[in-house]
Each structure stands twice: as structure tokens, then as C-alpha cells.
Amino acid sequence: MSDHYPGAPQPVEAAREAIRELNGTVNAVIENQATAQPAAGTIPVLVKDCMDVRGLPTSYGSALYATAPPANADATVTARLRARNAAIVGKANLTEFCFGATGQNDHFGNCRNPWDTNHITGGSSSGSAAAVASGMVRVAVGTDTGGSVRIPAALCGVVGLRPTVGRVPNTGCLAVSTISDTIGPLAATVAEACWAHDAIQGYDPADPLSIPAGPSTLATLHEGIEGFSVGVLGGFYAEALAPEIENALGEVARLLEAQGADLVDVVPVNNDALREHHAFRFILADVAEARAALMADPARRAAIGAEVRRRIELGQAVTGTEYAASIRALLALKQWLRGVFDSGVDLLLLPTTPVTAPRWQDAGDMVETTRLVSRFTYDLGASGIPSVSVPMGRDGRGLPMGAMLAAPWGDEARLMRAAQAIEQGLALDLQPPVYTSPD
């Protein structure tokens, strides 16, 4: 496994200066390490504020924990980053309790999209994505349960990797869903995402879902995709797409083919089950159970942001039979995916989101906006397979679009080789203006 950071890392003081200069506009950082104690290391990294960083409080994005004392120990991923010479320069903004895909936060303020602050960032790893997109840092760490790394990566124009469930331990991180939570990197480039992934992956006996580390993704990144079989997902995964996203995905498919991949059409056997969004239901119930003690206390319940509280209440209404039905649907999806991969398909290609970032004024209903932008991420994520969002250009309004690749369980290395092929082939220059404009 390579320990070497790809390229010259951003100077730590430059990252701190960028946070000071830009955070008033983007609101991506809610705890700046520079205000607490010096950060050792030479590679600046932001950590989503649902993971412990020794010496800093962990707020989970909630008013209930905003004055929490500093953590006494690092989360496993934080300790592993430090061991690779990372300087933890702060904690990133997030949707409260990691439970929403817009970037809304009633206590710390909404995180704002650097491409146009009138538009959402996506969430719940909103600050991690916005900080990378705006140039505060080149690497950040987020979490993904139903799309919380991949969605903001797509809407903010950065790379976001959701590893195989268990590949990166969740020790020292807020529990959202017992079987879907995954920590993953957001980065300015595929190579930097690989560096972060390789730094944090590996077995941890304290995490019951933990599995051993896989091969280094960085070591094989430039080996190409000659002979890869790429399944272009149709049916449900091609429905209700913004025309510019559909066109951009077609360009990505042609690019992969030009680099030696074989394209095949893959259509789900049960589009109706996917339209039901079954994973959405069991994750709602998981979160309701995890936050049950807070919801049972009237004062603490009232302190939870209204839209997050409403989503938890929806989870409380899920019946046992509905939960069981959603798990059965998930098993059917996993069986179908296994069949697709067993047939010789190496990777799947689809849009990360069906639309670019909605305007804040149109995203007040967090439930509906989350359903919209997580249309393609929720169920695939719950299956446990690794997937990555890679920038694929901008729409006519200048808002980023993301392509998603998914691979069989445990095959992050091949996944990132294809992500690198897209990044290299498109050769995009994504530098947001970080401004507020009328829409």
C-alpha cells in the first residue's frame, strides 16, 4: 500500500487561510482547528463533524451537542489519517445527525454551494464537499448511508467514494443505519480520493461490520480499463433525467468505450421495486430507533431541526412488516446485482443524481428533496457495493453534474481505475466562483 500523497499537498497554512477567507460565504466549516490547537502533519484534511477528532467537540450538526466537551480520542479513521501525516484542520458542516440530503442545518446554518450559493450542496456530508469544491482543502472525509458522500460530491463537482460496507471502520462515528453506514473520502481528484481511502481502510475489531483492507487503489490507478465490461444501467436508472445529465452520461459512456471498455446495456428486472425506494423506508426506521431517546424527551425533541425531526417521525411510523418488506426487497436487489456481476459485468454506470443542485427556495421540504437527489444512491448504497461519483461537466446554468460508477463488493481498485479514466478523459477544469448570484 502506497503511503505517498499524489502530487504536492496543499500547505496547511494555505488551507487555514482559505477557510478564513471563504467560510463566511460557503459555511463549510463549523469548528476550525486553527482556533483550538495547532494541527500536526503536512496534508490538510477536514473531517465531517460526526466523527471524533481528539481535542475538538463532536456536534453531530445538532444544537443538542453544540457545546459538547472536546473528544478524548480520535475516531479510527482520524487516527489513521494522522498516521499518514494528515493535519486535521477542522470539522465540516453537515445535516443534523447526518440525516438529510440538502445541506440544511438549522443550528449552524445551511452549507452553501460554491458554484452558486442560491443552490443546495447536497448532504449530509455537505461541508466536506463544499470545502473541497471551494478550495479550502483538497481532501475531506464524510459518511454515506443513502448517498451522503456521493450526492454532495456530484452537486458540488468533486470526487466522492463510498467504499464497500465494512471496508472503512465506523468506530468513533455517529451511527445512522446499522447496515448501511460507510465512511468515505471526498477529494479534488480521483488520485487524492484513493490516497485517503487507502489511508483509512482496514480491519478494526471494534466495528462489528469491519472487514480486512483490500488492495491499494492508488497503486493500480493508472493501469487503464482495457477490456473492462461496463454495464450502462437503464430502466429505473435512466428515468426522469435532466436532459443535460442524460447527454453528459452518454459522453462518459463513449469516453470509456474509446479507452477500451466494452459497453453493455443492463436493465433491472424489477423497476417497480426500485421506484418504491425500499431502502429509504428501513433507513428511516433505523434512524428513528437510533434517536429514540432524544425523541422521547420533549425538550430535546424540540431542539432538533424541524425537517430532521419530521424525517425521524416518518421513521417512527414504519411498521415491523414494512421494515421486513424493505429488507426482503434489499436482498432481492443484492441477488440481482450478484447475477449481473457474475455474468461478466465489471462495473455499472449511471448518473449520481437525476438533476443538478436545486435552489434553496425549492428545497424547503427536506423529505421530498432528499428523495429526489438520492433516487439512484439509496438502494445501491444499501446493497453494500462500492461506488464513486466523478464530475462529468456542468449544465447550462454552470452547476456540476456527476457520473456514478459501481463495482462488485470489495473491488474498489477497479472502480477507481475507471473513475480515473473518466477524469483523465474529460480533463475538466472545475473552479467555482464562490459567489452569490440571482437565479
Find residue 261's DSSP bridge partners.
none
- Determine which helix (DSSP H) or strand (DSSP E) holds 384, and give its type and residue range: none
Q: Flag whether 372 is in a domain.
A: yes
DSSP structure string for 218-250: TTTTTS--TT-EEEEE-GGGGSS--HHHHHHHH
Tens digit of each residue's pLDDT (9 = 90 or more) over 319-358: 999 999 999 999 999 999 999 999 999 999 999 999 999 9
For 99, the grid coordinates are 440525516
Residues taking part in catalysis = 48, 124, 148
Q: Flag whether 6 is in a domain.
A: no
Q: Are 224 and 258 in contact (CB under 8 A)?
A: no
Q: How many helices (H) and strands (E) does the chain have?
A: 15, 11
Tens digit of each residue's pLDDT (9 = 90 or more) over 355-401: 999 999 999 999 999 999 999 999 999 999 999 999 999 999 999 99
Expressed as residue numbers, the domain containing 187 is 12-426
Q: Flag whether 439 is in a domain.
A: no
CATH code at 334?
Answer: 3.90.1300.10
Residue 278's pLDDT band (cuts 50, 70, 90):
confident
For 297, the grid coordinates are 424527551
Ramachandran sector of residue 383 (left: φ over 0; alpha: ψ -120 to 50; beta: rest): alpha
- Dihedral (CA of 289, 374, 190, 86) sign: negative
Q: Flag whether 231 is in a domain.
A: yes
Mean pLDDT of 50-57: 96
Mean pLDDT of 21-47: 83
Cα dihedral angle (375, 213, 178, 407), rounded to 10 degrees? 20
Q: Flag whether 2 is in a domain.
A: no
For 92, the grid coordinates are 465540516
Residues with Cβ within 8 Å of residue 142, at least 6 apart in sequence: 48, 92, 94, 124, 125, 128, 129, 148, 149, 152, 160, 183, 184, 185, 186
Rounded to the nearest integer, the mean pLDDT of the chain is 95
Q: What is the pLDDT of residue 319?
A: 96
**Among 140, 107, 139, which Cα is nearest to 125's?**
140
Burial 366-384 (b: 16+ CB within 10 A, else e): beebbebbbbbbbbbbbbb
Cα 72 from Cα 20, distance rounded (Å): 26
Q: Flag whether 431 is in a domain.
A: no
Cα 63 from Cα 305, distance rounded (Å): 9
Q: Name the domain count of the chain.
A: 1
Residue 38's pLDDT band (cuts 50, 70, 90):
low
Tens digit of each residue's pLDDT (9 = 90 or more) over 87-109: 999 999 999 999 999 999 999 99
ω before 374 within 30° of 0 (cis)? Answer: no
Q: Flag whether 332 is in a domain.
A: yes
Q: Are 347 and 125 in contact (CB under 8 A)?
A: no
Residue 178's pLDDT band (cuts 50, 70, 90):
confident
**Among 399, 397, 377, which Cα is nearest to 388's?**
377
Q: How many CB atoms lie within 10 A of CB 413?
A: 21
Tens digit of each residue's pLDDT (9 = 90 or more) over 232-259: 999 999 999 999 999 999 999 999 999 9
Residue located via cell numbers 450502462: 232
For residue 114, CA distances in Å to 23, 196, 197, 248, 303 come to 10, 23, 24, 21, 29
Residues with Cβ within 8 Å of residue 104, at least 6 apart in sequence: 95, 110, 120, 123, 305, 307, 363, 366
Q: Are 120 and 113 in contact (CB under 8 A)?
A: yes
Cα 137 from Cα 188, distance rounded (Å): 8
Lowest mean pLDDT among 5-19, 66-80, 269-283, 299-313: 269-283
Residues with Cβ within 8 Å of residue 318, at least 6 apart in sequence: 281, 282, 284, 285, 288
Strands (E), 267-343: none
Q: Are 213 and 166 in contact (CB under 8 A)?
A: no
Read off φ and ψ for residue 270, nearest 5 degrees.
Answer: -140, 80
Cα dihedral angle (385, 391, 396, 397), rounded to 10 degrees? 90
Q: Flag whether 417 is in a domain.
A: yes
